[in-house]
Structure 1
Amino acid sequence: MKTISCKLLVLGAGPGGYIAAIRAGQLGLDTVVVEGNAPGGTCLNVGCIPSKALIHAADEFEKVSHFTGDNVLGISVQKPTIDFGKTVEWKDGIVKRLTGGIAGLFKKNKVQHITGWGTMIDGKTCEVETADGKVTVKAENVILATGSVPIEIPSLPFGGNVISSTEALSLDAVPGKLVVIGGGYIGLELGIAYAKLGADVTVVEALDRVLAQYDKELTKPVVASLKKHGITVMASTKAKTLAKDGKGLVVETADGKEETLKADNILVTVGRRAKTEGWGLEGLDLTMNGRVVAIDDQCRTSMTGVYAIGDLTGEPMLAHRAMAQGEMVAEIVAGEHRRFDKVAIPAVCFTDPEIVTCGLSPDEAKAAGHDTVIGLFPFLANGRAMTMESDEGFVRVVARKDNHLVLGIQAVGKGVSELSAAFSLALEMGARLEDIAGTIHAHPTQSEGFQEAALKALGHALHI
């Protein structure tokens, strides 16, 4: 058995883990990263990146299809077809390039990458099963970055035509009928994409509306888009089990009746949970916060020299949160003084249209005891949005009434994901409404909606 000693062991090479390892290497720390799959984790291999590739392909296909009929731009094309196998091959190529890039960065920064499944024996020791045999890694410090896995419905175990988002990103063909269980962001992102590609999509949601984590004002344009794309939404409906022939889903509707929905594939997207099994958690003396590992503002666990980051530590389960934590912990291990003290972490829902949230919503601000002023600017009054045929949605700013400190920013509309950096920067820098309103925004851009929303909250929007 081969034994390796190092300053820092990173268990898991997802967004948080690989960033931690790269930053540690940059700082001169003797670092080992252990990962059983390709580097990049769920986000890069079977999540954020491939799903956005599929969404882009679906958008382009819908765009071309739009021009087969009468349209305001006067463009006319023949009815398009799609070679879905080629689409998936293109998507896989992007993933391969990016995973290869991470491997290259490991090498560049002298990070030792061990490919294999690691099991923690204690807080300083990890045994890794590799293709060449077992390797033992002894480390002064450990970062646990094991990520998360899709939640499985007991009566609908994954397998066959019951799939998770992982399998949904690598189907052989566009399904004729797709039933999506769960009306959260993952289910709707993929459901809308497949509807654009020609699938007959039905969304089954146990709650009384989809995207329940957002307020109704934000989700209204998305709900309208679902109807536009022919997606059936069955709210207040429970998924029960597979139909007897295995080619459908039995559901219980709001009125208590059972109904069978025909389906070529049943996509289960009812959330994700921290991956707490398969890597030796039971052998560690870690304080848990429910089903996730408890950490402090330096990502320290209850064991000395053991840190935890990313989805393993709970919500928000976002790649960029894990990345920020990973970078911070690497610097802490290197002797720097850092704490995780973020004012806000932006979140994006890549539906059609997109949703961005950062900081407090109007309801959250009220619940926190703030007396607020709110400014909302619709893209109906934004020239750039009009010229892109995407004038649905708005930008909304929530600020304290007394001193105009911005507490939260939200937007819904085509391409608003690219505004997320401006939103989070404003909050992180402690911007007030006057700061945003007084910043010159380029014309014509959708970003002007941000400035106009601040002006609206101040009582003098210029374009509405």
Structure 2
Amino acid sequence: MKEISCKLLVVGAGPGGYVCAIRAGQLGIDTVIVERDRPGGTCLTVGCIPSKALIHAADEFGKVVRMSAGKTPLGISLADPKIDLKRTVAWKDNIVGRLTNGVTSLFKKAGVKTVYGWATFRDGKTIEVATETGLQVIRAETVVIATGSAPVELPSLPFGGPVISSTDALALQDVPGRLVVIGAGYIGLELGTAFAKLGAKVTVVEALPRILPLYDAELTRPVAKRLAGLGVEVLTGAKAVGLGPKMEVVRVETADGKEVALPADKVLVTVGRKPLTEGWGIEELVLDMSGKFIRIDEQCRTSMRGVFAIGDVTGEPMLAHRAMAQGEMVAEIVAGHQRSWDKRSIPAVCFTDPEVVSAGLSPEQARALGREVLTALFPFQANGRAMTMLAEEGFIRVTARADNHLVLGIQAVGQGVSEFSAAFSLAIEMGARLEDIAGTIHAHPTQSEAFHEAAMRALGHAVHI
């Protein structure tokens, strides 16, 4: 094959990589992107998007099951609901296919050349790609490393047989009768909740004292209550130590030091993700590291001239929207624009039941910085729209500086609150004060009124509570 030369080379077509390449193409930069699989990366192909499709299907099936059991006050009755998981997975795969094809079309529209295969660095300007038709060498003036991350494997429970990753869970053709989830972070609880609604008997094992440890206890309490309502058993302070001799049980050491055997048809391990820094020739580069991640500055530059890194490979938070924002910024920097990373808010969402969203600082985090704060929440139990949706569980909470009422953080837990993430982040990015939120007219009847009321309550004059 002939060598390819370009101004910008992006390695990895996940959310960060493909956004970077498309934006660069829009700016007239000669861009090549290399991807070993389909464009979209983990998020689009085996993560964010397919998991939300499964969660939605589980929610809909759960509603039908409750209706068939007469457990809804809406007056709707049904009989004998069933789930055909093969059809559900096929529907999910169709969505993924539409989106990956969409990204491919956007590459063409932006004039981005795509090379499929495994990339290996020769040096900071050159890679070779093992394609289906042979070895392709690519030289570039500037390189963006966007290799992403992969599920962490437990030494005591290596993937294989009944032990599955989140990727495997999204491809199951049948609902497991008994599912043990190792790890009560957002991935484990999202998928564990979905399979519980689909009919699996789910047990969650978490080494830390409580579920969703990255969120404060006030936010996670409604999630724990809902898990109990779904019949999900949660063991906190417990560690999985391996499978039984016939691989039909998971051996777990409980908080009191005893060992129990949990029957399991499948064991879903969701104990985190690790950056993909191996297998693509990082040893040929001279990169400063920050622990297991590539160290970057406020412009996503690495320690090597002309080499940028974005997304999960650069550290926490490992979120697709962070990678996308980094990718857009880097493309504009390469085009000569003045850009730097000055984001005040990167919202985090947990698509459990109920959903959890957090932007900015929690009350505890704000106080830990030595701030005197005002904080208040407004419960959905006092919100008319939430009542009509049978969605009274949860609240919206605001935290602001006590001296000038500058909003430092906004969190919510409840049905559909993920859609508030943009409003929460916008308020923080724009430097809103409590008076700004309280003085903004929020449509009635909507759940967003709880945002308005939380701000007014922090100011001492909530109306509806």
> If the TM-score is normalised by the length of the shorter chain, which range does it land in?
over 0.9
* Structure 2 counterpart of 1:58: 58
Q: Which residue type is aligned with residue 208 of structure 2?
A: L
Measured against aligned partners, the alpha-carbon deviations of 1:225-275 in whole angstroms (never above 9, x if no partner) come to: 000000000111110011100112111111111111110100000000111
Amino acid at match of 1:38: R
Secondary structure of 1:404's counterpart equals coil
Give 1:30 deviation, angstroms: 0.3
Letter in 2 for 1:83: D
What are the Cα deviations for residues 390-425 of structure 1, in whole angstroms up to 9, with x where unaligned?
Answer: 100000000000000000000000000000000000
Matched residue, 1:193: 194
Q: Which amino acid aligns with 1:30?
A: D
Question: What SS is found at the alignment partner of 2:431?
Answer: coil
Work out whether 1:163 is the aligned partner of 2:155. Answer: no
Q: Given residue 22 of structure 2, which amino acid in structure 1 is its aligned partner?
A: I
Deviation at 1:214, TM superposition (A): 1.0
1:374 matched to 2:375? The reply is: yes
TM-score normalised according to structure 2 size? 0.99
1:38 counterpart = 2:70: no
- Matched residue type, 1:33: I
In the other structure, the counterpart of 1:301 is: 302
Alpha-carbon distance, 1:69 to partner:
2.5
Q: Deviations over 1:351-371 (max 9, x none)?
A: 000000000000000011110
Q: 2:283, 2:387 → 1: CA distance?
A: 56
Alpha carbons 1:2, 1:134 under 8 Å: kept: no
Q: Does 1:92 align with 2:93?
A: yes
SS of the residue 2:143 aligns to: strand
Per-residue deviation, residues 265-305 of structure 1 (Å, max 9, x unmatched): 00000000111101111110000001000000000000000
* Residue identity in the other structure for 2:34: V
Deviations 1:157-178 (A, max 9, x none): 1111100000000001000000
Partner in structure 2 of residue 138 of structure 1: 139
SS in 2 for 1:351: coil
Distance of 1:376 and 1:257 partners within structure 2: 40
Listed one character per residue, the Cα deviations across residues 111-140 of structure 1 (whole Å, up to 9, x for unaligned) are 000011101111100100000100000000
1:177 aligned onto 2:160: no
Determine the C-alpha separation between the residues in 2 that align with 1:386 and 1:202: 31
What letter matches 1:265 in structure 2? K
Counterpart in the other structure of 2:3: 3
Structure 2: how far apart are the matches of 1:450 and 1:463?
12
Q: In the alignment, does 2:438 pair up with 1:449?
A: no
Q: Normalising to structure 1: TM-score of the pair?
A: 0.99
In structure 2, distance between residues paired with 1:423 and 1:207 = 29
Distance 2:114 2:63 in 1: 42
The amino acid across from 1:449 in the alignment is A
Matches within 5 A, 1:97-108: 97-108=98-109
C-alpha distance in 2 between matches for 1:233 and 1:294: 37
| 1:281-360 to 2 correspondences below 5 Å | 281-360=282-361
CA distance in 2, matches of 1:216, 1:312: 29
SS of the residue 1:75 aligns to: coil
- 2:43 is paired with a residue whose SS is helix
Between 211-220 and 418-427, report the one with greater CA deviation. Answer: 211-220
* Map of 2:22 onto structure 1: 22
2:49 matched residue in structure 1 = 49
Distance 1:238 1:366 in 2: 32
Q: Within 1, Cα distance between the matches of 2:242 and 2:399? A: 43
- In the alignment, which residue of structure 2 is the partner of 1:122? 123
Distance 1:83 1:256 in 2: 40
Structure 1: state its 5+ residue gaps.
none
TM-aligned CA deviation for residue 206 of structure 1: 0.6
- Distance in 2 (CA, whole Å) between partners of 1:390 and 1:228 is 15
Q: Which amino acid aligns with 2:40?
A: G
Q: Which amino acid aligns with 2:2?
A: K
CA contact (8 A) 1:376 1:395 kept: yes
Distance between the aligned counterparts of 2:118 and 2:182, measured in 1?
31
- After TM superposition, the structure 1 = structure 2 runs for residues 262-281 of structure 1, keeping only pairs within 5 Å, are 262-281=263-282
Letter in 1 for 2:237: S
Shift of 1:373: 0.3
Cα-to-partner distance string for 1:23-74 (whole Å, 9 max, x where unaligned): 0000000000000010000000000000000000000000111111223111
Match in the other structure for 2:428: 427
Quick one: which amino acid aligns to residue 125 of structure 2?
K
How many residues are aligned here?
464
Distance 1:2 1:259 in 2: 60
Query: 1:441–1:447: 8 Å Cα contact kept in structure 2?
Result: yes
Query: Corresponding residue for 1:154?
Result: 155
Q: CA deviation at 1:79?
A: 1.8
Instruction: Find the residue that maps to 1:204 and give its secondary structure.
Output: strand
Once residues 159 and 96 of structure 2 are traced to their aligned partners in structure 1, the CA distance between those partners, rounded to angstroms, is: 24
CA contact (8 A) 1:206 1:235 kept: yes
Q: What do residues 294-348 of structure 1 show as CA deviations (whole Å, max 9, x unaligned)?
A: 0000000000000000000000000000000000000000000100100110000
Counterparts of 2:237 and 2:375 in 1: how far apart (Å)?
Answer: 31
> What is the letter of the counterpart of residue 294 of structure 1?
R
Q: 1:203 is matched with which residue?
A: 204
Distance 2:110 2:239 in 1: 50
Unaligned 5+ segments in structure 2 are: none
Amino acid in the other structure paired with 1:368: L
Contact 1:6 1:139 in 2 (8 A): yes
- Please say if 1:83 is aligned against 2:53: no
Q: Structure 1 segments of 4 or more deviating over 2 A?
A: none
Report the secondary structure of 1:127's partner residue.
Answer: strand
1-structure distance, mates of 2:69, 2:104: 47
Q: Secondary structure at the match of 2:160?
A: coil
State the identity %. Answer: 68
- Look up the equivalent residue of 2:221 and give its one-letter code: K
2-side partners of 1:332 and 1:219: how far apart?
A: 39
Counterpart amino acid of 1:87? T
Partner of 1:137, secondary structure, is strand
Q: Does the 8 Å CA contact 1:3/1:135 hold for their aligned counterparts? A: yes
| Equivalent position amino acid for 2:94 in 1 | G
Q: CA deviation at 1:2?
A: 2.5
Q: Distance in 2 between matches of 1:147 and 1:69?
A: 44
Query: Structure 1: how far apart are the matches of 2:347 and 2:12?
Result: 24
